[in-house]
Structure 1
Amino acid sequence: MASARPFLRLVPSTAEEARPSQWFCGHCGSVTNEIPAPVARVCGDCELGLLMEASADLVPQPREPFLIVDKSLSVRALSAEAQRFLAVGEGDAVERPVTELLTPADAEAASADAFAAAIMHAAAGDDELRRLTVRPVNVFGVRMAMRVGVCGPPRAALLVLE
């Protein structure tokens, strides 16, 4: 008899009550209410991205660009919207440092440390939602809000540009 319990899910790192979570596509951002089987995690809409889980308040809204980054600060995936927004192809961005695409909006060293720390904490499983202000590398005068939190599996940081 099949169990109705999900096979994969994020586990909060603190004893606090967990925030509700949602599954979304790591390529097109499409949200699904169904929990995917471990062997069937490819998006049914675009058939290109893996389904990832994140807290409902972090999951990208339609047309919000986003990146998935590991604890070494390497880009593991980016949405089609992020590719358009950052003017970079997926093949040119994946496995590259996120700092080649985004940088803190403030030029101070403390901002760079906060940027890296927010991503590393999220990729390590810290479920605190953090908000930063960033800009695309080599583009000046543009500032955007970014929310950072944990997603998975596999565990990584989700960076959503607002």
Structure 2
Amino acid sequence: MRFFRVFLAIAALGGLVSGPWALDAAAASNPPLHWQDISLMFVGCAASLPLILGLQAALGNDKAVRVGWHFFLLGAVNFFSTGISAAGVALASAAISPHSLLFLAMGSGLLVGVAVSRVLFGSKFAKAYTAGYGQDRTFPVVSQYIGRDPSWKLSTLSLTDGSCCGTATTCCST
């Protein structure tokens, strides 16, 4: 989870840095953007994410729902911070136009879509945190070990397969 926070920070910083160039790219759109296009972008981004993840959930692909949600969260943070930067540059030059709010609308819409998807598909995430990580051997699920041995210690758990020969640093490989 720490790595994901680092990725979120990188996405936000990258968006803040890329704002002026994104503003130029949005200004070069042909045909030019109008104010109603901005609201359409917000609604489209907000509605598309639950639709995409909903199709994956309907197919029973829980891993794609989890990975997709994290991917879209990174994109939403990047677009939102790009939009803040682009809107700030436009405000500083006193030239607010529809293209200056394009990335802010898309990022806001994606953040709404991410939040709605988390509410709609929260059970997909709960399954991952209670059972999935223990099965795919990424993280040990401590609750699996509680009750088996009353003298269990976290230092004796293996990060690979759960079988240890004493401490986590001297685990046996199978």
TM-score by length of 2: 0.26
In terms of Rg, which structure is larger? 2
Greater strand fraction, Structure 1 or Structure 2: 1
The structure where helix makes up a greater share of residues is: 2
What is the TM-score normalised by the length of structure 1?
A: 0.28
